[in-house]
Amino acid sequence: MTMSQVFWEFIGTWSKVVELGDTFFVILRKQPLILLHWYHHASVLVYTWFSIDANDPAHRWYMAMNTGIHSLMYNYYALRAMGINVPRKFALCLTTAQILQMLMGFYVNLYSVFAKQIGWDCPRRNSNIVFALLMYGSYLVLFVNFFYNSYLTPKKQNKIKSN
């Protein structure tokens, strides 16, 4: 592994610790902490620590995808925190991008399984592939569920009963 790779693996892994900070802010602001949020942050942190010594080439793809999505997402959160009204379509696009990220992560791992099955040289550890398949598969289910509940299901309206 080159020094550049070591540096970016280090930064990527520790960025997951920093991302736990937004979980802390959710709790401080007494907002609901949904399964998708805490499970995603906790499991991706464990995965990055698990795979840091593997020199897994797919890990760099995951980090690049995640950095791109998170840069948009945290800017969205910052604008909302400043009281700026961001169109709902932007949130919908962000969630769609996250679903595409999970599909891509899942595909990369299926491709790795295929490559190993037909005998191609694939430097990835089987344990990393299995962990990542389970991780991306579960994220995909959770993000699709979030999308469905957030954007496709009508909002429940409180009915006021008159006496």
Residues 40, 41, 59, 70: which is the catalytic one? 40
Active-site residue flag, 59? no
Are 20 and 45 contacting, i.e. CB atoms less than 8 angstroms apart?
yes
3-state secondary structure of 158: coil
What does 141-154 look like in DSSP terms, one character per residue?
HHHHHHHIIIIISP
Are 47 and 69 contacting, i.e. CB atoms less than 8 angstroms apart?
no
- Give the catalytic positions in this structure: 40
